[in-house]
Amino acid sequence: QVRLVESGGASVRTGGSLRLSCEVFGYSGSGTCFGWVRQAPGKERELVATFSTFDQSSDYKDTVSGRFRVSRDNNKNTVYLWMDTLRPEDTAMYYCAAKFTRTCTILLGPRPFNHWGEGTQVTVSS
């Protein structure tokens, strides 16, 4: 059974950086679309970044493009979300999600993902 475990969330000041980790248990295959999804209080979940192990491509929501980056460490079976120049509007619970079908773009939104972690909280204060 696939299990995703996030870590790395913290409270930081505007302009700060964080690295979130998503360790994958129970699956180490090559055909996965990973997504980083965030949910702020009172708002819907939004997909902010994807990473495809099918072709090693990534995609980003406009509001985080140029500030966030996704990478994967195959040896550790871990996916990372590197977040720079953080803003108060980035404050949210961040979830790692996965699905095993090829399509892997921001246009998908969060609904097609069928494996989810518990989330890690990111708080950015001004």
d(CA 120, CA 126): 20
pLDDT, averaged across the chain: 95
pLDDT in the model for residue 126: 92
- Confidence class for position 106, pLDDT limits 50, 70, 90: very high
- Confidence class for position 1, pLDDT limits 50, 70, 90: confident
**Residues above pLDDT 90, as percent of the chain:** 91
- Confidence class for position 28, pLDDT limits 50, 70, 90: confident
Distances (CA, A) of 24 to 2, 8, 46: 7, 15, 21
